[in-house]
Amino acid sequence: MNIWYLSAYDQPKGQSSRTYDISRELVRSGHQVTMFTNSYCHFTHVELLEAKEKWRIEEIDGIRVVWLRTFHYSGNGWQRGVNMLSNIWRSIQVAISFQERPDVVIGPSVPLGTGWAASAIARMKDAAFVFEVRDIWPQALVDLGMLASDSLSYKILRSVEKYLYGRALRISAVLPFTWKHVADSGIDADKVHWIPNGADIERFMDEPAITDNVYPLIAMYVGGFSSTHDVSTILRAARILQDKGIDSYRFIIVGSGRYRFASEKEAEDLGVRNVEFRDPVPKSEIPRLQKQADVLIASVKNTPVYQFGINSNKIYDYLASARPIIFSGNAPNDPVAESGAGLSIPPENPEAMARALQELLEMNQAERIELGKRGRCYVEHEFDIKKLAGRMDKLLSQAIKEKEKMDGSRR
């Protein structure tokens, strides 16, 4: 297959790696893959292209990567909208310059404009179109309070979303209950195939189980500081333990985002003595970083944005690290509970977080090691990126065959 994979924000070996990881595995399976992505990274604010370059093409791990120059932005203001529009323009511009015809074009739901560009390129090149739903836009924007459901912007985005559901021959969904939303949109839910995020197990092959019973134990959070992430509950739980005279934990908070400064200020105001904030590390460094942890924490707020499921990259990396996990959240699926890899507690409940930390502390080392092993076994069997890429391979083949069948019926 000749596969074109559009993803505005995922960069090869970058902070978000799904597109690159799946593309690499598809190449290993013998397919040609072209990955379109922005040359400007909104995580690091680094531009990879020279001033006069509109785009650049290079090969990375067998993937033909097209770096697109787009409008720079930070935050969620009008500049992000211009960035999305510039991504559409550049993607189509490059597609026109290529004389070849892809068999299938994949486009994302975030941003919807890139998904629309993928559908337009597929139509222009007479290729099959697959829509990859990473988050359910624009509903997620409403759930986050960033968009009113009665606004013109919402109505336009919702129309685009429905169009892409209808246009796609197959829908690849990272959230397990996306099919419900697609059905509510008046589209055949049989199009939807669940291909979640996962972990590249190869990156974690040298990660041993915990062997030393050394205190304080390190409880680590690795992730973002957005409106849905809940670092506050971790900090307040740390204060509860501190007030009880329990000093057997050291908390390490790793990441960046809009609300990091507020979290650092909260830790200072609470007077938490055993917390350390660290800057994010490249994706390739996550296994080494998480090797330092005795307990890994995933904590999100109680928000309807998770109504169709949670599919956090961080949870699968946690599972691959073979460490016991505390999950604080409210979603219809729970990989930690399903794997038996740790403890699941209600969201935004510092007392429950403190109790969970105490419960892990009271376990002996062998019990904590066993929790980590369960998580590692679970992710190896269910969420290894090689297996997920195999599912994507099958889905793309189905879309191409359906396109050929439709074309045959029109003759």
User: Over 60: is that where the pLDDT of 207 sits?
Assistant: no
Question: Residue 10: what pLDDT?
Answer: 81
Do 2-198+384-404 and 201-382 share a fold? yes
Query: Residue 411 above 70 pLDDT?
Result: no
Find tokens 């691959």 and name the residue.
320
CA neighbor of 163 nearest in space, from 115, 212, 232, 122: 115
Q: Which of 52, 84, 53 is nearest to 66 (CA)?
A: 53
Distance CA 193, CA 238 (A): 40
pLDDT mean across residues, the chain: 92
What's the pLDDT score for residue 212?
58
What's the CATH number of domain 201-382, 3.30.530.20, 3.40.50.2000, 3.30.565.10, 3.30.56.10?
3.40.50.2000
Question: What integer pLDDT is reported at residue 85 of this predicted model?
Answer: 87
Torsion on CA atoms 302, 308, 314, 317, rounded to nearest 10: 140
For position 49, what pLDDT does the model report? 80
- The answer to whether the bond into 196 is cis (omega within 30° of 0) is no
Query: Distance between terminal CA atoms of the chain?
Result: 23
How would you classify the pairing of strands 192-194 and 170-173?
parallel
Q: What residue ranges do the domains of the chain occupy?
A: 2-198+384-404, 201-382
Length of the chain: 411
For residues 223-240, give the mean pLDDT: 95
The predicted structure's pLDDT at residue 353: 98
- If pLDDT is split at 50, 70 and 90, which confidence band does 284 have? confident
pLDDT digits (tens, 9 = 90+) for 300-346: 999 999 999 998 888 999 999 999 999 999 999 999 999 999 999 99
Three-state SS letters, the chain? CEEEEECCCCCCCCCCCHHHHHHHHHHHCCCEEEEEEECEECCCCEECCCCCCCEEEEEECCEEEEEECCCCCCCCCHHHHHHHHHHHHHHHHHHHHCCCCCCEEEEECCCHHHHHHHHHHHHHHCCEEEEEECCCCCHHHHHCCCCCCCCHHHHHHHHHHHHHHHHCCEEEECCCCHHHHHHHCCCCHHHEEECCCCECHHHHCCCCCCCCCCCCEEEEEEEECCCCECHHHHHHHHHHHHHCCCCCEEEEEEEECCCHHHHHHHHHHHCCCCEEEECCCCHHHHHHHHCCCCEEEEEECCCHHHCCCCCCHHHHHHHHCCCCEEEECCCCCCHHHHHCCEEEECCCCHHHHHHHHHHHHHCCHHHHHHHHHHHHHHHHHHCEHHHHHHHHHHHHHHHHHHHHHHHHHHC
Sign of CA pseudo-dihedral 405, 407, 409, 411: negative
Domain 2-198+384-404: top CATH class: alpha beta
Cα(172)–Cα(140) distance, rounded to whole angstroms? 17
Asked whether residue 389 carries a pLDDT value surpassing 60, the answer given is: yes
Instruction: Give the model confidence (pLDDT) of 86-142 as tens digits.
Output: 889 999 999 999 999 999 999 999 899 999 999 999 999 999 999 999 999 999 999
Q: Is 262 left (phi over 0), alpha (psi -120 to 50) or beta?
A: alpha
Mean pLDDT of the region 159-185: 97
**pLDDT exceeds 80 at position 289:** yes
Hey, what are 31's tokens? 């397919």
Contact 235, 266 (CB under 8 A): yes
Give the span between the Cα atoms of 343 and 328, in whole angstroms: 9
